[in-house]
Amino acid sequence: MSELNHLFDRNLAWADAIKNKDPEFFRRLAKQQLPEYLWIGCSDSRVPANQIIDLPPGEVFVHRNIANMVVHTDLNCLSVLQFAIEILEVKQIIVCGHYGCGGVKAALDQHDHGLIDNWLRHIKDVGRLHADKLQTLSHNEKLNRLCELNVIEQVNNVCNTTIVQQAWKKGLAISVHGWIYNIENGILNRLGDSINSADQC
Ligand code: CO
C-alpha cells in the first residue's frame, strides 16, 4: 500500500503548515462552509480556482468541466448552481475561461475525438452563432476569440437557468461575471459587465 505516497507526504506537510499558522483553521472550517463565490471553470490543470484568486479552502464553491460549459440539461452543473444559490446563498457567480483552452481548440479542428465530440458540439454551436466575428481571424486569433465568446455565452446560459431566473424573481442580488485567464502570465481579465438582473440577459 505504498501507491502515491508522495502525495500523502505533501498533504501532511500542507496541513501542518496551515495549522502552524492558524491552529483552529480546520476545526473552524469543519463546522460550516460559507463561500462567497461560485466558480465555474475549465478542468485544465493550469487553471485551479482557489490558487488563481489566492483564496484558502472554504472560500470558493467550485464546478469545473472541459471548457467551462453551462449546458442547459447538465444536471451536474445545474445541481451545483442550485446548491450554491439556495443552500449556500452565494451571490457572486464567476464563469472563468482561459486562453489556449484545449476544449475550444478541439472544437475548432476537424478531427474525430470520440465521445467528447458530443460535449464539444456545444462549443461548435457558439462558433456557429458568432461565425461572422470569427471568419476573418487567423487560427490563433480565432481560438482566443472563441475562448472569450464561449465565456460570454456560458454567462448567458447561467443567467437563463430556471435557478438564477427564480432567484432574481425572489429579489436575490445575484451577479454573474465572465472572466478569462491568461495561462502565459497568470493574469485574469473581465469580459464585459457583470449581469445583475433578468432584463440584462
Ligand atoms: Co480549457
Percent of residues, the chain, with pLDDT higher than 70 = 100
Q: Measure the N-to-C terminal CA separation of the chain; round to a whole number of Å.
A: 53
Q: What average pLDDT does range 97-121 have in this prediction?
A: 96
Domain CATH code at residue 150: 3.40.1050.10
Residues 2 and 88 in one domain: no
Q: What is the mean pLDDT of the chain?
A: 97
Q: Which of 63, 77, 98, 147 is catalytic?
A: 98
Residues 195 and 116 in one domain: yes
Residues 123 and 94 in one domain: yes
Residues 11 and 85 in one domain: no
Residues 194 and 181 in one domain: yes
Percent of residues, the chain, with pLDDT higher than 90 = 97
Q: Could you report the per-residue pLDDT of 125-150, keeping only the tens digit for each?
A: 999 999 999 999 999 999 999 999 99
Split into its structural domains, the chain has a count of 2
Residues 41 and 26 in one domain: no
Cα(42) to ligand 1 centroid in Å equals 5
Cα(124) to ligand 1 centroid in Å equals 14
Instruction: Flag whether pLDDT at 100 surpasses 80.
Output: yes
Residues 162 and 144 in one domain: yes
Residues 170 and 101 in one domain: yes
201 labelled catalytic: no
Cα(68) to ligand 1 centroid in Å equals 7
pTM of the model: 0.96
42 labelled catalytic: yes
101 labelled catalytic: yes
Cα(25) to ligand 1 centroid in Å equals 32
Q: Could you report the per-residue pLDDT of 150-191, keeping only the tens digit for each?
A: 999 999 999 999 999 999 999 999 999 999 999 999 999 999
Residues 139 and 97 in one domain: yes
Instruction: Flag whether pLDDT at 1 surpasses 70.
Output: no
46 labelled catalytic: yes
Residues 62 and 126 in one domain: yes
Range of the domain at 7: 1-31
Residues 98 and 87 in one domain: yes
Cα(4) to ligand 1 centroid in Å equals 26
147 labelled catalytic: no
